Structure 1
Amino acid sequence: MRFGFLFGEVITGLRRNVTMTIAMILTTAVSLTMLGGGLLAVRIADKTENYFMDRVEIRLYLDDDVSASDLECSQAPCQSLMSELKKTGGVVSVQFVNSTEAMKEATEVTFKGQPEMIEMIQDTRLPASLRVKMTDADQYERIFQTYHARPGVQQVLNDKEIVDRLVSIFDGLRNAAFGLALVMALAALMLIANMVQIAAFTRREEVGIMRLVGATRWYTQLPFLLEAVVAAVIGSVLAILGLLVARPMVVDRALGQLFDSNVFPHVTGDDIAVVALTIAPIGVVFAAVTAYATLRYYVRE
């Protein structure tokens, strides 16, 4: 097979249908960018869940009377609650945090750098709490049913609910990105099919002559398939560049403060690389399969 001839045919085909080629490249790029955004959302959601799951606690907030009168959890009902919790199956540790310690944590950790929030709570007595570390955060319901109505307990909360809400944000972004990617993929499919059919039609005489002198069907149709692949490769490169540009200009600007506050883990270069190595082959294979199917079922000569 003469590769010079094959290369020339591919370039000629791309130039001959330049507007459709550009449309296919851009459609493929947008489709893969949406797919890449969805995959990034999945990675951030997984990293967020893994980041917080080791820190998830069940918190038993004590009522005002207990919070004000028992600063060391040395009296009933706080002492008995702590004792029972430590004996409960699946409990790793139980930590008592009094009102003073809760306020210190709120001002120095939770709302650090947020003076308006600190001012809002500074005259408030924060409740004391028992922080329960479990082997499995899904055991929250059992702890809740056992302790939510006990004397001295004001409220039982589970940090996992907060983690689930954070993860659900990225689940929504993922679903939206995948939905847009699917729509764009259908558009790319139709563009590829049309481009291959038009290219084959405009060169039907050349193909006919080549077939008469003994060229195989595969040899005559390979340039059309490669045209689609080349366009997909260019679209994949543009999609990867789009993700690289979107990270500092869109993602970091929108979520930068949350990243810096360790609410969400950072989107790293490794994340972009993994996504790039996923979407590029998908784009190329998608284009190749679509072009082959078009040639196989619609171009008979």
Structure 2
Amino acid sequence: MRAKYVMSEVFLGLWRNISMTVAMIITMTVSLSMLGFGLLLYNQVDVIEEYYQTSLEVVIYLDRDVTEEVTAQIESDLKSNDLVAQVEYESKEDAWKRFQETFEKSPDLVASVDAEVLPAAFRIKMKNIDQAEELIAQFADREGVYQATNQKEILQQVFDILGGGQRLTLIVALVQGVAALMLVANTIQVAAYSRRREVAIMKLVGAPNWFVQAPFVMEAVFAGVIGALFAFGIVAAAKVFVMEGQFKNLFSLMPPVEWNSVLLLLPILVGISAAISAITAWITLRFNIKV
């Protein structure tokens, strides 16, 4: 009977303040969506780093007019080097095929590049990629070498950009979260004030504080959970229609976002929204409303 009364009061209270309830749900949805994207990006940065760490190479590009003798000597020296685990020679033709395969979904880019521009190169797997600079120092000034690059340094710039986006998303989520908490507190105050006579009567007949406060807390929790469900829907839709849809080519060079990572957000967002909403409502009732 008590549970039935509490739930009826919850839905009645939400309906009485429908405009503020909708505003609270929308604010929760926005803040939790940003939080979801931030958490997903945080996890994906680690996945990308792990994915590329296993395939990072040192690439030594050769001059266009390098002789076969010089090429053979460089290859021999690389294979005998203690820092090197594996050496693969890539001819100009192989470089062009790799370029076409890498950007097969961007035909305009492929068409704009002259095959002769791509040089032959040695692709080197290191025993320890952190020693790449030592190897580059040994071969960068060699005859026949045009340029030596460390893929880890290039990708580190990408990781820095992703990290910046990660921090920005979490900051926006934090700001939105503060706004959501203030809106929750304000909604609870208005709801309690509009039912102040009912509250007074319940107190007079000896109703315990938790029984009086329960409908208000449940209202906040209900709105928070609805916002979390909408936020999860936005993140899932972004994966389907953005990452795997319209902008699929943009994400083609990165490991895909797994559904397991997306689904894991559902209990996280629901749990966070329910806990924060309940705590905010309880504190508001405890210190600002005399019940």
Give the TM-score normalised by structure 1.
0.86
Structure 1 residues not aligned, in runs of 5+: none
Counterparts of 2:178 and 2:215, CA distance in 1: 23
Q: Do the aligned partners of residues 114 and 182 (structure 1) sit closer, same or farther apart at CA in structure 2, a change above 3 Å counting?
A: closer
Q: Match of 2:75?
A: 82
SS in 2 for 1:64: coil
Q: Match of 2:59?
A: 59
Structure 2 residues not aligned, in runs of 5+: none
Two-structure CA RMSD over aligned residues (Å): 2.4
Counterparts of 2:288 and 2:141, CA distance in 1: 71
User: Deviation at 1:169?
Assistant: 4.2
Q: Match of 1:287?
A: 277
Cα deviation, 1:141-175, whole Å, max 9, x if unaligned, reads: 22223322233221111222343344344334323
User: Deviation at 1:101?
Assistant: 2.9
Q: Match of 2:98?
A: 105
Counterparts of 1:288 and 1:83, CA distance in 2: 69
The AA in structure 2 aligned to 1:21 is: T
Counterparts of 1:94 and 1:291, CA distance in 2: 63
Q: Match of 1:184?
A: 176
- Residues 37-52 of structure 1 aligned to structure 2 (within 5 Å): 37-52=37-52
User: Deviation at 1:231?
Assistant: 0.7
Counterparts of 1:293 and 1:164, CA distance in 2: 45
- Residues 164-203 of structure 1 aligned to structure 2 (within 5 Å): 164-203=156-195
Q: Match of 1:137?
A: 129
Q: 1:272 aligns with which of 262, 265, 272?
A: 262
The answer (yes or no) to whether the contact 1:207–1:220 under 8 Å persists in 2 is yes
User: Deviation at 1:57?
Assistant: 0.5
Q: 1:296 aligns with which of 283, 286, 290?
A: 286
Q: Do the aligned partners of residues 235 and 84 (structure 1) sit closer, same or farther apart at CA in structure 2, a change above 3 Å counting?
A: same
Counterparts of 2:115 and 2:185, CA distance in 1: 68
Residue 121 (structure 2) pairs with residue 124 (structure 1): no
The answer (yes or no) to whether the contact 2:79–2:87 under 8 Å persists in 1 is yes
Moved more, 269-278 or 181-190: 269-278
Q: Do the aligned partners of residues 251 and 130 (structure 1) sit closer, same or farther apart at CA in structure 2, a change above 3 Å counting?
A: closer
Give the TM-score normalised by structure 2.
0.89
Cα deviation, 1:20-44, whole Å, max 9, x if unaligned, reads: 1111011101111111122222233
**Identity fraction in percent:** 37
Q: Match of 1:92?
A: 85
The answer (yes or no) to whether the contact 2:242–2:248 under 8 Å persists in 1 is no
Counterparts of 2:212 and 2:243, CA distance in 1: 46
The answer (yes or no) to whether the contact 1:44–1:170 under 8 Å persists in 2 is no
Q: Do the aligned partners of residues 230 and 47 (structure 1) sit closer, same or farther apart at CA in structure 2, a change above 3 Å counting?
A: same
Q: How many residues align?
A: 291
SS in 1 for 2:36: helix
